[in-house]
Structure 1
Amino acid sequence: MSLQTILLGIDPGLQRTGWGVIACEGARISWVAHGVIAPATKLPLTERLGALASGIKDVLDFYNPTEAAVEEVFMAKNAQSALLLGHARGATLSVLAQHHVAVTEYATRHIKKALVGTGGAEKEQVAFMVRRLLPQSGAVSADAADALAAAICHAAERRSPSNHLMAAKG
């Protein structure tokens, strides 16, 4: 009998950070929970980052995942947006490290390809596949769907024999 692993997916953002928790047992995945952390936009940057970190900590404390899949930075529209996203990712990664959660980062295109079959998939297609693979999740916002998609992608990647071979060679 295989052991159950709890995986956390995170789609980081300063305005809205999506999170999704799934359970894995062998090749079987099941939905546990999902949500969005949305700090008040009128707060100073440091307080927004603190609220984001606190929200991630609450998720970690409640669900106790052992692994996390975090969406990598994409090309932002401008340097200021990229910097703010970097702050949100830094706060998120710091909390994960403090809780000794193993982190794997995935490019957005990789996650989309794993779920939909093409790296250029639209958000609606990703959300559709999340609902299809995790029907018990119900209605899922775009941010939470992206986070669940990261977790599903990680569940598939960690089962892949080629990944085990790569890890053994490295």
Structure 2
Amino acid sequence: MSQPERILGIDPGTVVMGFGVIERVGSELRLIDLGSVKFAASKESVERLGDILASVEELLDRFQPTSLAVEAPFFGKNVQSMLKLGRAQGVVLSAGLRRGLTVAEYPPAVVKRRISGRGAASKEQLAGFLEAMYTIPIDPKRALDATDALAVATCHALTVQRTATLSAAGALPAKKKSSARASSWAKFLAQNPDREA
């Protein structure tokens, strides 16, 4: 029997941050917990970064995950929203890296496609798939940040499982050779050692 992998999924945000914790043993997935953390909207967004870090560290201490999966922001929001969300995501990723965890990020469309088969599934549809997958009642109106976090954790588990299965079957594609541009750069550095940064 393989060792269990505990995955903490995070849907970063500066006002609400969702989290979902699952355990993967072989091909079996088990829900440990899900929820959300709210931050004081009255604080400046930069001040909330410290609160986000403290909350992520508390989740890491409480659940002792082996992997951290984070939902990447999607490009469609205004620049200020993207900047704030990117900062929150950076805090979350850094907390996991400092603990030596396996850290992965997934765009929302990839998460939706891995869970539902459709990259354009709504948050409510995604919550419905997760409810069926984990056989638990999920109120999507109350817990969309939490279900997004559970979805990213599940996406990571399924991705790792699929990669392991393909690798064991020898079905992974061969690694691509370095691009001509990369090899040209390497050639340039070899010919000009004094130019190396």
Say whether the fold is shared (TM-score over 0.5). yes
Q: Distance in 1 between matches of 2:58 and 2:136?
A: 22
Larger radius of gyration: 2
Q: CA deviation at 1:103?
A: 0.7
- Residue deviations 1:15-40, cap 9 Å, x none? 11111000110000000011112110
Three-state SS of the structure 2 residue aligned to 1:128 is helix
- Residue 153 of structure 1 corresponds to which residue in structure 2? 155
1:47 aligns with 2:28: no
Q: Please state how far the C-alpha of 1:46 moved relative to its aligned partner.
A: 2.9
1:135: how far off? 2.2
Whether the 8 Å CA contact 2:127–2:138 is kept in 1: the answer is no
Alignment of 1:127-138 (within 5 A): 127-136=127-136, 138=138
Provide the residue aligned with 2:56 in structure 1: 56
Shift of 1:76: 3.5
| Contact map agreement 1:72 1:105 (CA 8 A) in 2 | yes
Structure 2 equivalent of residue 88 of structure 1: 88
SS at match of 1:36: strand
Shift of the 71–163 alpha-carbon distance from structure 1 to 2, 3 Å rule, reads farther
Secondary structure at the residue paired with 1:60? helix
Change (3 A) 1:88 1:137: farther
**1:38–1:52 Cα contact (<8 Å) kept:** no
Extract unaligned runs of 5+ from structure 2: 177-197
Percent identity reads: 36
- Please tell me whether the aligned partners of residues 33 and 137 of structure 1 are also in contact (alpha carbons under 8 angstroms): no
AA aligned to 1:156 is L
Cα distance, 1:46–1:4 mapped onto 2, change above 3 Å: same
TM-score by structure 1 length?
A: 0.92
In 1, are the aligned partners of 2:70 and 2:152 still within 8 Å (CA)?
yes
What is the Cα-based RMSD across aligned positions, in Å? Answer: 1.9
Higher relative contact order, structure no. (Cα contacts within 8 Å, ≥ 6 residues apart): 1
The change in CA–CA distance for 1:84 and 1:26 in structure 2 (over 3 A counts) is same
Q: Could you say if the C-alpha distance between residues 75 and 7 of structure 1 is closer, same or farther in structure 2, counting changes exceeding 3 Å?
A: same
* Residue matched to 1:143: 145
How far the C-alpha of 1:94 sits from its partner, in A, is 1.3
Structure 2 Cα separation of the partners of residues 168 and 14 of structure 1: 40
Counterpart CA distance in 1 for 2:107 and 2:17 is 16
Task: Say which is worse superposed, 131-140 or 159-168, in terms of deviation.
Answer: 159-168
Q: Is the 8 A contact 2:127 2:144 kept in 1?
A: yes
Indicate if the aligned counterparts of 2:36 and 2:146 stay in contact, CA closer than 8 A: yes
Q: 2 CA distance for matches of 1:75 and 1:29?
A: 30
Q: CA deviation at 1:91?
A: 1.1
Deviates more, 1:89-98 or 1:118-127: 89-98
